C-alpha cells in the first residue's frame, strides 16, 4: 500500500519520506511518498552488545524493557537501574567493524544497567548467547533452542469474563491511534485494553512483536505487571511470540484482526489464555479459553 504524497518532510520519527515514481493507467508521475521507518536498535548490558532489534524508532526504552521481560531477564521495573542512549563516542563499535556503522547511528544504541538477580541473568545470557538480530517479522531469532521457547509455561488463572460487544469495539479503537499507518500503510499496532474496552496503551512498529514489547514495557514502567486484568489486541496475525509475550506479562486474553498460527493456539491452550482471531465487526473466532467470553 502506498502512502499519501507529501511535499514536506514529516516530523514523525516513525515515517520516512522519499522520491518515488508512480505509474498508474499508463501515466508516470514523480512525487514524494512516505514509508515506515525501520532502523536497528542495539541493546547493550553495561556496554556489552546483547541484541540488535530491527524496529521503528520511538518508545525505545519501553521496547527494551518489554523485550527483556519477554526474555525473562527482568521481572519488574526495579530490576532496571538505568536505560540510557549511548552518546556518539560510546556507541562506536569497539572492534571497529565497518558492518556495524549503520547500527550505531545516533539514537540507535541503548545501554542497560540491571540490578540484583537480573544482572546475574544478563551476565549468563551474554555468556551463552551468540550475537543475533531480531528482525521485524520474527521476535525469537535469538533463542538457543525450542526448549527455551516452550519451557516454564506459566498458566494464567484470571477468571473474569468479557462481552462480545466490548471485543467488537477494540479494532476501531486501536485503528484510531495508528497515525503512522495512515501515512505509510506499513506499520503494525498493538494495544492494551482494560476489561471495559478502554484503550490503555498503544504502539506502532514495523514488527508486531515490537509493538507488543512497547506497550508491555510501558505498563512495566508503571508497575502494572502482571497485566492480569488486561486484553492484548494486535493488528494482523497472532504468531507464537505474541502469545509468549502475553504469557510472561500475565495477560489472559489475546485478540487480533487476523488469524493465529497453530503454535500460537497450542501455547494459548497450554497457558490457559483466551485467544481470539478474525475480530471483525460483531464476529470473531475463539481458539482457546472460551470460558472468559460471555456467550
Instruction: Say what the pLDDT of residue 134 is.
Output: 60
Ranges of H-type helices in the chain: 60-70, 88-91, 116-128, 146-150, 164-168, 170-175, 179-184, 208-221, 240-249, 262-270
Kindly report the backbone phi and psi dihedral angles of residue 83, in degrees, each rounded to the nearest multiple of 5, phi listed first: -130, 115
pLDDT digits (tens), the chain, 295 positions: 334 433 344 467 777 777 778 888 888 888 877 777 889 999 999 999 999 999 999 999 999 999 999 999 999 999 999 999 987 545 555 444 444 444 445 679 999 999 999 999 999 988 876 555 566 555 555 455 455 556 667 899 999 999 999 999 999 999 998 776 656 666 889 999 999 999 999 999 988 999 999 999 999 999 999 999 999 999 989 999 999 999 999 999 999 999 999 999 999 999 999 999 999 999 999 999 999 999 9
The residues facing 80 across adjacent strands are 114
Beta strand pairing status for 39-45 and 109-114? Answer: parallel
Domain region containing 89: 39-150
DSSP 140-180: -TT-S-HHHHHTTPPPP-----B-HHHHHTHHHHHHTT-HH
Q: Is residue 22 part of a domain?
A: no
Q: Is residue 232 part of a domain?
A: yes
Distance of CA 123 to the CA centre of its chain: 24
Please give the Cα distance from 176 to 49 (Å, whole number): 37
Q: Is residue 9 part of a domain?
A: no
Q: What is the CATH number of the domain that holds 222?
A: 3.40.140.10
Domain count, the chain: 2
Whether residue 113 is found in the same domain as residue 202: no
Whether residue 46 is found in the same domain as residue 130: yes
Query: What Rg do the C-alpha atoms of the chain give, in angstroms?
Result: 20
Instruction: Say what the pLDDT of residue 135 is.
Output: 60
Q: How many residues does the chain have?
A: 295
Distance of CA 171 to the CA centre of its chain: 17
pTM reported for the whole predicted model: 0.84
Whether residue 179 is found in the same domain as residue 74: no
Is 86 known to be catalytic?
Answer: no
Instruction: Say what the pLDDT of residue 9 is.
Output: 46
Smallest CA-to-CA distance from 179 within 10, 38, 41, 65 is with 10
- Give me 55's grid cell: 524496529
Please give the Cα distance from 250 to 229 (Å, whole number): 9
Burial class (CB in 10 A: 0-12, 13-18, 19+), 241: buried
- Give me 72's grid cell: 525473562
Q: Is residue 77 part of a domain?
A: yes
Judge if the upstream peptide bond of residue 100 is cis by omega within 30 degrees of 0: no
Whether residue 130 is found in the same domain as residue 244: no
Please give the Cα distance from 239 to 138 (Å, whole number): 9
Instruction: Say what the pLDDT of residue 107 is.
Output: 78
* Of 94, 128, 150, the domain-final residue: 150
Beta strand pairing status for 109-114 and 80-85? Answer: antiparallel
Q: Is residue 16 part of a domain?
A: no
Q: Which of 86, 138, 141, 284 is catalytic?
A: 138
Please give the Cα distance from 235 to 267 (Å, whole number): 19
Amino acid at each position: 500500500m502506498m502512502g499519501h504524497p507529501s511535499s514536506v518532510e514529516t516530523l514523525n520519527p516513525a515515517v520516512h519520506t522519499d522520491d518515488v515514481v508512480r505509474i498508474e493507467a499508463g501515466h508516470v508521475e514523480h512525487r514524494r511518498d512516505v514509508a515506515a521507518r525501520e532502523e536497528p536498535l542495539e541493546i547493550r548490558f553495561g556496554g556489552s552488545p546483547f541484541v540488535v532489534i530491527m524496529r521503528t524508532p520511538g518508545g525505545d526504552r519501553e521496547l527494551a524493557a518489554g523485550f527483556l521481560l519477554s526474555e525473562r531477564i527482568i521481572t519488574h521495573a526495579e530490576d532496571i537501574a538505568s536505560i540510557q542512549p549511548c552518546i556518539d563516542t560510546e556507541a562506536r563499535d569497539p572492534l571497529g567493524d565497518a558492518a556495524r556503522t549503520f547500527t550505531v547511528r545516533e539514537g540507535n544504541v541503548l545501554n542497560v544497567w540491571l540490578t540484583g538477580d537480573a544482572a546475574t541473568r544478563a551476565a549468563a545470557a551474554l555468556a551463552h548467547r551468540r550475537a543475533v538480530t531480531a528482525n521485524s517479522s520474527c521476535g525469537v531469532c535469538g533463542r538457543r533452542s525450542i526448549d527455551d521457547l516452550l519451557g516454564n509455561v506459566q498458566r494464567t488463572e484470571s477468571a473474569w469474563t468479557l462481552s462480545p460487544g466490548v471485543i467488537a469495539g477494540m479494532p476501531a479503537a486501536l485503528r484510531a491511534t495508528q497515525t503512522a499507518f495512515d501515512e505509510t500503510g506499513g506499520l503494525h499496532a498493538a494495544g492494551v485494553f482494560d476489561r471495559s474496552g478502554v484503550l490503555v496503551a498503544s504502539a506502532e512498529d514495523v514488527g508486531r512483536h515490537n509493538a507488543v514489547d512497547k506497550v508491555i514495557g510501558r505498563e512495566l514502567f508503571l508497575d502494572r505487571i502482571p497485566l492480569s486484568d488486561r486484553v492484548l489486541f494486535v493488528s494482523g496475525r497472532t504468531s507464537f511470540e505474541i502469545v509468549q509475550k502475553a504469557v510472561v506479562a500475565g495477560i489472559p486474553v489475546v485478540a487480533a484482526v487476523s488469524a493465529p498460527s497453530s503454535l500460537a493456539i497450542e501455547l494459548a491452550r497450554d497457558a490457559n489464555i483466551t485467544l481470539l482471531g478474525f475480530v471483525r465487526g460483531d464476529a470473531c473466532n475463539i481458539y482457546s479459553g472460551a470460558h472468559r467470553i460471555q456467550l
